[in-house]
Amino acid sequence: MIHEFVHESRPARVVFAPGARNLIDREVTRLGIRRLIVVSTPGQSGLAAAVTAPLGQRVAAVHPHAAMHVPRAIADAAVTQARRVDADGCLAVGGGSAIGLAKALARETGIPIVAVPTTYAGSEMTTVWGVTDGRRKSTGRDDRVLPAVVVYDPELTVAVPPATSVASGFNAIAHSAEALYAPDCSPVTALVAAESVRALAGALPRVVADPEDLDARSEALYGAWLAGVALGATTMSLHHQLCHILGGTFDLPHAETHTAVLPHVLALNLSAAPHARNALQRALDADDPAARLFELAGGLGAEMALKNLGMPETGSAAVGQQVLAAPYHNPVRITETELHHLLGNAFAGLAPHTEPTPR
C-alpha cells in the first residue's frame, strides 16, 4: 500500500564509466570553469595530480590537506587559497574527507564542485556539509554544496584496500538501511535504497576476493552512488546518531564504526519497520537482515567489536546519555536498558540479539 509522500529529486549530473576520469576535462569545460582548486587528502595527492594532469593550466591551485571530518583550520586555509588564485571551481578527488573539504569551500565561496569519489561514503550526492572545531562538529544542509557533476570511475577504486572497501561499503549500506525507515522515504527512494543494498552486498565479497575485479568494483560503486542518493533524500535515525556520537566522543574511525554498529541497530529497529525489513530481506536474500549483515561484515574481515576500534570499556554510559538526550527520529523509542545492551554487544563484537557479557 502506498501512503502519502513527498519526493524531491536533487539536480545532480552523474557520469559513470570505467575510465570516466578521461571525461573530467569535458565536464569542466561544460561548466565553464577556468581556474580550478584541486582538493584531496595527502594520501591521494598523487592520484589527484594524475587525474587532473590533462586539465593543464586550468589547475590554478592544489590543496592536498583534506582530513577526516573537515577540521576548521584546513577548511579556512583552502578558502584563503581559493580566493588568492580566484578559483571559479573546485575538483575533489578521494573519499568523504576530500569531498567534505570541497563542500566547506563551496559553502564559503559559492564555487561549483566537480566530485571524483573513490570510496563508497556517498557524500557527493548530498547537500549535507560538516566542519569540525576541536571535538565539536557543526553540520547543516545547503544546496550550494551539492556537486555540479559527479564523475564515478571504478578504475580509481581498485587501489582502495579491501578492508577500507568493506567498511566504506557498510557505511553506504547503513545510509540505505536507515533511508528505508526514514519518515521522509518516498517509494522511489525506497527502490533506490534497496537496490543499493543488493548491489553492495553482492559486490563486496567479490571485491575482497579480487580487489582488481572491475565488474565487482563497478557494482560496488554503483551501489554506493544509490546509497548516497538515498542518504541525500532522507533523514537519518538512531544508527547515524549513535555513530556520530561514538565517533565524536572517542575519535573512532567513521566507516568502521558504522560497520560494527549497524547490525545491532537494525536488530532493534526492523521489528517496528516492516516495510524496511521486507525490502532488506529481499535485497539480502535473508530472513534476518541484521544477522545477515553481521555475518557478511565479519566474514569479510571487518572488525565488529567497538573495543578494538578504540571505544573505552567505560564509554557506554557517556554515549548513552548523549543519545537519549538528543532528539532524533527512530521507528522505536529506545530505552536506556536497550541502549545499554546494544552498546554492550557492539563493544564486545557479539552477534545482534545476544545477551551482553557481564561487566
What is the contact surface with ligand NAD in residues (CB under 6 A)? 41, 43-44, 47, 68-69, 94-98, 100, 118-119, 121-123, 126, 128, 130, 156, 159-160, 164, 168, 254-255
Instruction: Give the three-state DSSP class for 295.
Output: helix
Pairing, β 149-152 against β 113-117: parallel
Look-up: residue for cell 545547503? 142
DSSP characters over 84-106? HTT-SEEEEEESHHHHHHHHHHH
> Please, what is the minimum distance in Å from the beta carbon of residue 137 to ligand NAD?
8
Instruction: List the grid coordinates of 356.
Output: 551482553
- Residue 48's contacts (CB-CB under 8 Å, 6 or more residues apart) are 38, 39, 40, 62, 64, 91, 93, 94
What is the nearest approach in angstroms of ligand NAD to the Cβ of residue 231?
Answer: 6
CB of 167 to ligand NAD, least distance (A): 7
Residue 125 C-beta: closest distance to ligand NAD, Å? 8
Rounded CA-CA distance 290/263 in Å is 4
- CB atoms inside a 10 Å sphere around CB 264: 28
Taking the complex as a whole, how short is the minimal distance between the CB of residue 36 and ligand NAD, in angstroms? 19
- Compute how many other C-beta atoms are within 10 angstroms of the C-beta atom of residue 16: 14
User: Minimum Å distance from CB 244 to ligand NAD?
Assistant: 8
Residue 16 Cβ, how far from ligand NAD at the closest point, in Å?
A: 16
Residue with Cβ nearer ligand NAD (159 or 191): 159
Please report how close the Cβ of residue 191 comes to ligand NAD at its closest, in angstroms: 20
Q: For residues 123 and 176, which CB has a smaller minimum distance to ligand NAD in the complex?
A: 123
Element (H, E) at 124: none
Judged by CB, which is closer to ligand NAD: 121, or 296? Answer: 121
Nearer to ligand NAD, 81 or 234 (CB): 234
* Cβ neighbour number for residue 239 with a 10 Å cutoff: 24
CB of 269 to ligand NAD, least distance (A): 20
3-state class (DSSP) for residue 151: strand
Give the residue with the Cβ less far from ligand NAD, 106 or 201: 106
Residue 43 or 312 having the CB closest to ligand NAD = 43
* CB closer to ligand NAD, 119 vs 316: 119
Closest CB to ligand NAD among residues 108, 288: 108
Contact 94, 120 (CB under 8 A): no
Report strand pairing: 59-63 vs 13-16.
unpaired
User: Nearest-CA neighbor of 276 among 337, 324, 326, 234?
Assistant: 234
Question: In the complex, which residue's CB is closest to ligand NAD?
Answer: 96
SS3 assignment, position 149: strand
Edge-to-edge, what's the strand order for the sheet holding 149-152? 13-16, 149-152, 113-117, 89-94, 36-39, 59-63
